[in-house]
Amino acid sequence: MGDNLISVNNVSVNFDYQENFISKKQKIHAVNNINIKIKKGSFFGLVGESGSGKTTLGRAILGANKISSGNVIFHDDERDYELTNMNKQDLKEYRKKAQLIFQDPYAALSPRMTVRDIIAEPLEVMKITNSRQETDERVRDIAAKCRLNIEHLRRFPHAFSGGQRQRISIARALVSNPKFIVADESVAALDVSIQADILNLLKQLQTELNLTYLFISHDLSVVAHVCDVVAVMYLGHIVEMGPSRELFKNPKHSYTKALLSSIPSIDPEKRSEAIELKGEIPSALNPPPGCVFRTRCPNPGVDCKGGEITMGLTEVEPGHWVDQCCVL
Amino acid sequence: MSHLLEVKNLDVKFDTDEGRITAVENISLTVDQGEVLGIVGESGSGKSVTAKSIMKLNPGNTSYNEDAEIILDNENVLQFTSKQDLKKIRGGKVSMIFQEPMASFAPAIKIGAQMVEQLLIHKNINKDEAKSISINMLKRVGIADAEKRFNQYAFELSGGMRQRAMIAMALSTMPKLLLADEPTTALDVTIQAQVINLIKDIIKEYQMGVIFITHDLGVIAQVADHVAVMYLGSVVEKGPVNEILKNPKHPYTKGLLQALPDINNLDAPLSPIPGNIPSPLDRPTGCVFRTRCPHHNPEGKDGKIEMKLIEVESGHWVDQCGIQCGQNG
Ligand SMILES: Nc1ncnc2c1ncn2[C@@H]1O[C@H](COP(=O)(O)OP(=O)(O)O)[C@@H](O)[C@H]1O
Ligand SMILES: Nc1ncnc2c1ncn2[C@@H]1O[C@H](COP(=O)(O)OP(=O)(O)O)[C@@H](O)[C@H]1O
Ligand code: SF4
Ligand code: SF4
Ligand SMILES: [Mg+2]
Ligand SMILES: [Mg+2]
């Protein structure tokens, strides 16, 4: 296992769905048979349109969503934690080691909590510190690392800008001294300048605190800039995965190619080069059989039409994996 | 030929409990028929307030300056007070689309009923004609089963379809000017590309003028003919899209470009613009950007010089102090 911090093995997450009490029960296939390994110290990116299952997968890895089948293993220095096989004590320890950065903590928390209280809450809930003094020290320490003004700890977050709130959110996620962080759309709502600032901060904290990230974003330009490995998700499946530069320079899957070409180029002379994808992502209630992207694929091969192909990644270059049906 | 829209020396101020704030100061813009003017800037820079002024949609605590003019089709919109006149700029000659399509639709009224009602207000036609115009417009924006959608509520549509329905409603009255306020900001890039292509096709087809507001310079590059860059209520630079993006002059425009992750240039560091946008209550005197500008010289003139755009290339205007300081720093 050595290099890896997280192994996701054949993980699927289904949700039960019933339109109303007389209709028949159905399954939402949010995440299907995912296999990924996240290396220690990596900035692992997960991209795809909304509804592709990114948040569900991120939450499953944190133990916040039940895993319907498969397993997630967290390889700590001393021992492994197997997510589907943890007792209460394990779960408690795992919570300290794996944390989520909320997109906006203020939206999820009481407006009467001060910045200090928001950051301190995980320490108190997980009973990590033994005295108020110790809690305050930890809060001040992490706030400084996140470049928050110590003077501001007594204030309420509604007075803060989007960038400052995001720093509060990061400090809260880091205060328990975790090793693994899931950042779910952490820069999505920010202006470009603040976005650049937060991305630089995440990078810096990664080195300083030896963090490993799962960075979820729908913005490919951002992911290309910060991530070293990227997985592209569509309708619950990873359709392509590989080292970031290789994947962006040399995309193999039709979906990755279409996504990349949809990014609006900053060059006004490069207009209308987008491979326009028709329609929208289908419902996860009834994913198409065979290749899940088939209903929108701009250039399906002859073999794709039947829909009998089983999806699954195959390695085309060292570390660069593509759904096998798109390679065939 | 005169411009379709000409905004001259517009100030917009709001009276609030904390005092009077300047949301927009001394901006001048033009839009011609068939032209897309992009307005770009961080949140709080006054983009939405500018657009709302054109429809006189800012609330009661708003004041406009006496010498400001918003000339649409040779009439000064700011003088409009009668219902009849206001109708012209609210759904008649001007329509607006938003980031959140639910802002356009009343949740409890069917899409079709709202479109018909709007048409009956603005056009001298009967209900049947209004219905057929509406259904044709829903088809035109790429909505399959338009007849069925006509009888549905907005919340029943998917995100992308809702966006299209909003565009159909805004266009059904054939406005001369479309105000698009971040219409693609909440969309996935794939759906954004569809909506951008749709808006571009429609502009060409109907030859309307458009103000396209976004904070995304990539979107600006794809849709705009001209661009105005706004910061804290001021236009600091404006000109043809190619000029502004490839030959930016103002430190703020340059800063925005350097903060942007460009997928074709992964080695470039992401450089944030230092500091935060000041509150409009503490709007800096002189150059509004000086509290964050890397070339700011505390002993220099930028606290005193009046902001004023000067033309540096044909059609390319930059704030004068920006150029002076740029040359010094
Ligand atoms: N708690 C839930 N119950 C039912 N369906 C859910 C739940 N969470 C997510 N889903 C569904 O799972 C699919 C994937 O959603 P999500 O993981 O949020 O995607 P993403 O984060 O990529 O936008 C969607 O179809 C979504 O509607
Ligand atoms: N009705 C109002 N009363 C007081 N301040 C307002 C009002 N509307 C907008 N503002 C302020 O005006 C400034 C410009 O806002 P806006 O045009 O919405 O910015 P943008 O669209 O560029 O994000 C902001 O500081 C905003 O808070
Ligand atoms: S397998 Fe076929 S249908 Fe699916 S993405 Fe590849 S080419 Fe398209
Ligand atoms: S006037 Fe000075 S502070 Fe303002 S933009 Fe120019 S260089 Fe910067
Ligand atoms: Mg999500
Ligand atoms: Mg706005």
Task: Tell me how many domains chain B contains.
Answer: 2
Predicted ipTM > 0.85: yes
Q: Please say whether the beta carbons of B254 and B322 come within 8 A.
A: no
B98: in domain:
no
Regarding the beta carbon of A15 and ligand 1, being less than 6 Å apart is answered: yes
pLDDT score, position B328: 42
More confident call, A221 vs A310: A221
Tokens of A9: 């093995």
Give the span between the Cα atoms of A212 and B247, in whole angstroms: 39
Beta bridge partners of B70: B7
Residues spanned by the domain of A294? 228-328
> What is the three-class DSSP state of B161?
helix
Q: Which of B256, B268, B261, B262 is closest to B293 using CA atoms? A: B256
* Structure-token pair, residue B57: 């949609």
Q: Are residues B144 and B253 in the same domain?
A: no
Count of domains in chain A? Answer: 1
Nearest to A223 by CA among A50, A44, A53, A56: A44
Look up tokens 């911090």; give the residue: A5
**Does residue B122 lie within any of the structural domains?**
yes
Core vs surface per residue B76-91: b (16+ CB within 10 A) or e: ebbebeeeeebebbbb
Compute the nearest-CA separation of A63 from chain B (Å): 27
Q: How confident is the model at residue A306 (pLDDT cuts 50, 70, 90)?
A: low
Tens-of-pLDDT digits for all 329 residues of chain B? 689 999 999 999 999 999 999 999 999 999 999 999 999 999 999 999 999 999 999 988 999 999 999 999 999 999 999 999 999 899 899 999 998 888 889 989 999 999 999 999 999 999 999 999 999 999 999 998 999 999 999 999 988 899 999 999 999 999 999 999 999 988 899 989 998 999 999 899 999 999 999 999 999 999 999 999 999 999 999 999 999 999 999 999 999 999 999 988 899 999 999 988 898 898 998 889 989 998 877 666 667 778 889 999 999 999 987 566 654 43
| Structural domain that includes position B10 | 5-93+175-328
List chain A residues with CB under 8 Å of B194.
276-277
Cα A278 to Cα A101, A270, A273, A281, B301: the distances in Å are 33, 21, 15, 9, 54
**Whether residue B189 is found in the same domain as residue B65:** yes
Q: Report the candidate in B234, B232, B240, B223 with the shortest Cα–Cα distance to residue B180.
A: B223
B14 and B50 both lie in a single domain: yes
Question: Could you tell me if the CB of B14 is within 6 A of ligand 2?
Answer: yes
List, for residues A234-292, the tens digit of each pLDDT value.
999 999 999 999 999 999 999 999 999 999 999 999 886 677 788 889 999 989 888 89
User: In angstroms, what is the span from residue B95 Cα to ligand 6's centroid?
Assistant: 16
**Mind listing the pLDDT tens digit for each residue in A116-169?**
999 999 999 999 999 999 999 999 999 999 999 888 899 987 778 888 889 999
Last residue of a domain, one of B128, B147, B174: B174
Domain shared by B226 and B319, yes or no: yes
- Give tens-digit pLDDT for A92-116: 999 999 999 987 766 766 778 999 9
Structure tokens at A3: 């290099």
| Residues A146, A197 contacting (CB under 8 angstroms) | no
**pTM, whole model, 2 decimals?**
0.93
Residue A22 burial (10 A CB sphere; 0-12, 13-18, 19+)? exposed
Assess if residue B197 is contained within a domain: yes
**Is B288 among the domain residues?**
yes
Q: Which chain B residues are Cβ-neighbours of A280 within 8 angstroms? A: 158-161, 191
Task: For B275-324, give the DSSP string.
Answer: S-PPPGGGPPSSSTTTTT-TT--TTSSTTTSPP-EEEEETTEEEEHHHHH
Same domain assignment for residues B49 and B122: no
Q: Please tell me whether residues B322 and B208 are part of one structural domain.
A: yes
Contact A225, A233 (CB under 8 A): no
The phi and psi torsions of B304 (rounded to 5 degrees) equal -110, -35
Q: Which atom of ligand 4 is nearest to the CA of B328?
A: 7
- Asked which of B142, B174, B206 is the last residue of a domain, the reply is B174
Residues B312 and B199 in one domain: yes
CA angle, B259 then B264 then B265, to 5°: 55
A224 with B261: CB under 8 angstroms? yes
Let me know whether B125 and B274 are in one domain.
no
Residue A326 lies in a domain: yes
Are residues B208 and B256 located together in one domain of the fold? yes
Residue A194 lies in a domain: no
> What is the model's pLDDT at position A290?
85
Shortest Cα–Cα distance, A307 to chain B (Å): 23
Q: What would the pLDDT profile of A165-197 be if each residue is shown by its tens digit?
A: 899 999 999 999 999 999 999 998 889 999 999
The reply to whether A92 falls in a domain is no
Q: Is the domain of B88 the same as that of B210?
A: yes
B170 and B185 housed in the same domain: no
- Give the residue with greater pLDDT, A142 vs A302: A142
Domain annotation covers residue B157: yes
